[in-house]
Amino acid sequence: MRKAIVPICVILFIMFVGCYLIIMEYARERANNRVQAELEMQEEPAAELPAETDDGIQGILLKVDEKIRTMKFKDIDSEKIYELPYEEGLKIENKYGDIMTLAQLSPGEIFDLDYTKSLKKLTGIKVTDKTWTYSDVTKFSFDERKKVMMIGDEAYKFTDGLEIFSQGREAEIMDVTELDTLIVRGKDKQVLSIVVDKGHGYIRVLNDTYFVGGWIEIGQEIIKPITEEMLIPVGEGSYLVKVSNRGYAGQEQVEVKRDKESSLDLSKIEIEEVAIGHIKFSITPDYARLYVDDEITEFTDRVPLEFGVHAIRVECAGYDTIKSNIRVGSDYAEIEITMDEADDSSSSSSSSSSSSGSSSTQTVSGNSLSSNSASTTTTSSSSSSTAQTVISGEKKLYIEQPAGAEVYLDGNYIGIAPASTPKVTGAHVITLSKDGCKTKSYSVSIANDGNDVTFSFSALVEDKDKGSENKDE
């Protein structure tokens, strides 16, 4: 009898666990359905069509539902939403009059709509020639307070009704990062819709102990000091990633996929001893102080520096401090630096500010500094950093939700939410990661207002592939 009790208990236990898992999966499915239903209920109801006019309607395509054959548009003038049925064989044209298919349509495009109000249906749509489109936009920024988007050096206005799409779904401004490539559409000086054409993924740095304090270079775009447990947002694509520290370096090709994590295991890459370059610094005024990698450096003779990236800082009373990065790649090179005299306003701001370093990196090769001269590029970078970046010793940045998620600021690990870090003003990317969920990044702008800042983000979305595919790539 006793022998029979054990297998019976095992069977009952297995049945209990199975039932529990089924119930949890059912509850999770119901929760997802409820969230989807709530989102659908929040959609703005369709408006009544105006009478047909010669100009018709220019509408932003929001959604195509092929099952019930409807298209949803937003009028770019009134911002009213119209949901219109269409019949098979609907005439769809690009702005040159060439025929398009339904499969070629994507949210965010702007069309001239032909319709009949009496029948309340579309009779044809054509990509409008009354608006403009910028593709491959990589240099941009947003000022949500002023409702201004900078595209290159040009300023454009936008409204609360700005439509943003990523992978066919609606998104928000904070979902867009400076790593993304955009398609921007607008009329006159107003942005009407944004499509994230190329997004970003992440490189998770593993087994980093030896390289902490060194540098990581991701392609030609990203150069950062290596800190512990980094998760770095990177534009999707293939990159040659280089790491260096204490006279040694290694590199590996890494493929970054959209919204996915790729691992860079530093214990598995081939490490080589790096060469030494000898750099001649010519600095005006010649009594300025030169710091290389935060160490004061005598520059009357050539300075031996390892091949790779180094942070330089030049200070002198009465002059604007210069901060930048240089990449050494030759046996001998020269760098000329001319400091700008400080005015009263820049001197006062410099005393209360701290810069995280220039975003540009100068390449040292051959006999001189390539590209622009150091005196031009680094000084302007330093000035902008001084004006915009303040690291507070008292005020904090708090990330409270989603609880239990790993929190990263500009790729650097902060902790598990709820977490905090010293407040740093300016534009930043906050990344959230959690086992079993899709990693998510948000662009934030932190003002120098003397207050603590608290962010609470939405719960991370479940990702069944994470933990198996993403981290093993």
> For 145-167, how does the pLDDT look when each residue is reduced to its tens digit (9 = 90+)?
899 999 999 999 999 999 999 99
pLDDT above 50 for 357? no
Residue 388 pLDDT more than 50?
no
Note the pLDDT tens digit of each residue in 259-318: 999 999 999 999 989 889 999 999 999 999 999 988 999 999 999 998 888 999 999 999
CATH fourth-level superfamily of 391-470? Carboxypeptidase-like, regulatory domain (2.60.40.1120)
Residues 6 or more apart in contact with residue 267 via CB below 8 angstroms: 206, 207
Looking at the DSSP assignment, which residues form a beta bridge with residue 264?
205
Q: What is the Cα–Cα distance from 430 to 440, expressed in whole angstroms?
A: 8
The encoded tokens of residue 397 equal: 């940045």
pLDDT of 213-263, one tens digit each?
Answer: 999 999 988 999 999 999 999 999 999 999 999 889 999 999 999 999 999
pLDDT of residue 278: 93
Q: Are 237 and 180 in contact (CB under 8 A)?
A: no
Q: Give the pLDDT mean for 103-124.
A: 88
Residue 447 confidence class, pLDDT cut points 50, 70, 90: confident
Highest mean predicted confidence (pLDDT) among 289-303, 345-359, 454-468: 289-303
Confidence at 80, pLDDT banded by 50, 70, 90: very high
Compare 231 and 23 and report the one with higher pLDDT: 231
- For 132-198, CATH gives 2.40.50
CATH entry 2.60.40 includes domain 276-388:
yes
Q: Does domain 200-273 have CATH number 1.20.950?
A: no
Q: Is the dihedral of CA 169, 172, 175, 177 positive or negative?
A: positive
Does residue 457 have a pLDDT over 60? Answer: yes
Q: Can you give the pTM of this predicted structure? A: 0.74
Among the residue ranges 6-15, 259-268, 319-328, the one predicted with the least confidence is 6-15
Q: What is the mean pLDDT of residues 438-465?
A: 90
Residues 103 and 105: their CA atoms lie apart, in Å, by 6
Render the burial of 320-357: b for 16+ CB within 10 Å, e for the rest: bbbbbbbbbeeeebebebbbeebeeebbeebeebebeb
- Going from N- to C-terminal start, the domains of the chain cover 1-42, 57-127, 132-198, 200-273, 276-388, 391-470
- CA distances 431 to 6, 83, 168, 206, 226, Å, are 49, 36, 22, 17, 17
Could you tell me where the DSSP H helices lie in 85-242?
none
Pairing of strands 406-409, 412-416: antiparallel
Which pLDDT does position 361 carry in this prediction?
62
Spatial separation of the C-alpha atoms in residues 161 and 439, rounded to whole Å: 27
- In words, the CATH class of domain 57-127 is mainly beta
* Residue-level pLDDT at 274: 87
Q: What is the DSSP letter of 236?
A: S
How many of the other CB atoms lie within 10 Å of CB of 185? 22
In whole angstroms, give the CA distance from residue 150 to residue 141: 5
Task: Say if residue 450's pLDDT is above 90.
Answer: no
Two domains, one topology: 132-198 and 276-388 = no
Place of tokens 């005024």: 285
| pLDDT attached to residue 380 | 30
